[in-house]
Structure 1
Amino acid sequence: MASTSRTPTRRGRGRGKGRGRGGRGDGSSSLPPPPSTLPLIIEEFFIVVYEDPLVKKALPKKFADYLDGKEPAKVYLRAADCGPRLWTVEVLFDGQGRMYLDKGWENFAIAHGVDFGCFVHFKYEGDDVLTVKVFDGTMCRKYYYSDDDDTDDESDDDVKPCIHPL
């Protein structure tokens, strides 16, 4: 059996693929940048309805921070799977970085069955539009569809619920 001689090597130097800095030999790191240097992108968040479902709802502070400098006076809620209708909801900011869904939220909540214990998922689509999914107290999603034929002269004061599919 032939023996092979091994030449000792020093770790962390040279052009090898060792575990030293970067592992590429060029001094760069293959690790992603730390979270504090990444841009803040908030696209999805949720709230859990613990109090009266019809009063103004606080959105996460991180989302309000994301909108800093471009705080909208209103947002437009679109229920997932409930047609193209946009529900106009006024937004309040309390001066301490908190954002609330206010006037218009009650109509949306009634029409989509938002109740105590519901989990409400929001996805920010840009242009002040949020797509909303409502999950009930059993954590099962509520599905809806709309009857777009009856929306011709409908005002925001008329609350017409989406119809749950049979």
Structure 2
Amino acid sequence: MASTSRTPTGRGRGRGGRGGGSSSLPPPPSTLTLIIEEFFIVVYEDPLVKKYALTKKIAYYLDGQEPAKVYLRAADYGPRLWTVEVLFDGPGRMYLDKGWENFAIAHGVDLGCFVHFKYEGDDVLTVKVFDGTMCRKYYSDDEDTDDESDDNVKPCIHPL
């Protein structure tokens, strides 16, 4: 009879064992690459100022790339992109500049709003705007229609 190699527990080193195979555990945190895909800002100051500061982490994430522009797309709104110039004035200091004011007006960004950004790559950020009650704002494109009805506005139901 052929002899097989056994571990001290009596189990062989075949498939599914705890032998020298690859682990399904994630790598330790020190080996993970920092990837910033989503972030949000709380609007504490007038959103209609010419330049508006973003978080330091996204500025550090884009360090070296420093795009001259980003393209904002309202989530669930279609393919329209809003071109917004970007300023960097030091490490961790990134601002949305020319074009931000137009986007903020069109999408109801106001004091107390939370603005969620998702980096899609190629300098495109998908944006969701939440009001002070933490309800998402929905909007319609008024450029194509003169109808001022609220048919495209979804109500927010906030439990008390």
Fold-level similarity (TM above 0.5): yes
Report deviation, 1:103: 1.0
SS of the residue corresponding to residue 143 of structure 2 reads helix
Report deviation, 1:165: 21
How many correspondences in the alignment?
Answer: 159
Alpha-carbon distance in structure 2 between the residues aligned to 1:147 and 1:96: 37
The gaps in structure 2 that reach 5 residues or longer are none
Cα 1:151–1:25, aligned 2, differ >3 Å: closer, same or farther? Answer: same
Larger radius of gyration: 1
Alpha-carbon distance in structure 1 between the residues aligned to 2:80 and 2:157: 13
- Identity rate, percent: 92
CA contact (8 A) 1:147 1:162 kept: no
Q: Which moved more, 1:40-49 or 1:29-38?
A: 29-38
CA contact (8 A) 2:59 2:91 kept: no
Alpha-carbon distance in structure 2 between the residues aligned to 1:159 and 1:5: 69
Alpha-carbon distance in structure 1 between the residues aligned to 2:14 and 2:89: 50
Report deviation, 1:34: 2.2
Report deviation, 1:37: 1.3
CA contact (8 A) 1:72 1:91 kept: yes
TM-score relative to the length of structure 2 = 0.72
Alpha-carbon distance in structure 1 between the residues aligned to 2:150 and 2:90: 28
Alpha-carbon distance in structure 2 between the residues aligned to 1:56 and 1:156: 30
Report deviation, 1:163: 19
Report deviation, 1:35: 1.9
Superimposed CA distance per residue, residues 81-115 of structure 1 (whole angstroms, 9 cap, x where no aligned partner):
33321111110101222111111111111111101
Superimposed CA distance per residue, residues 43-98 of structure 1 (whole angstroms, 9 cap, x where no aligned partner):
11100001111125621222122222211001010111333211111101012221
Provide the aligned C-alpha RMSD in A.
Answer: 7.4
CA contact (8 A) 2:135 2:156 kept: no
- Spell out structure 1 runs of 4+ moving beyond 4 A: 1-9, 16-23, 27-30, 151-166
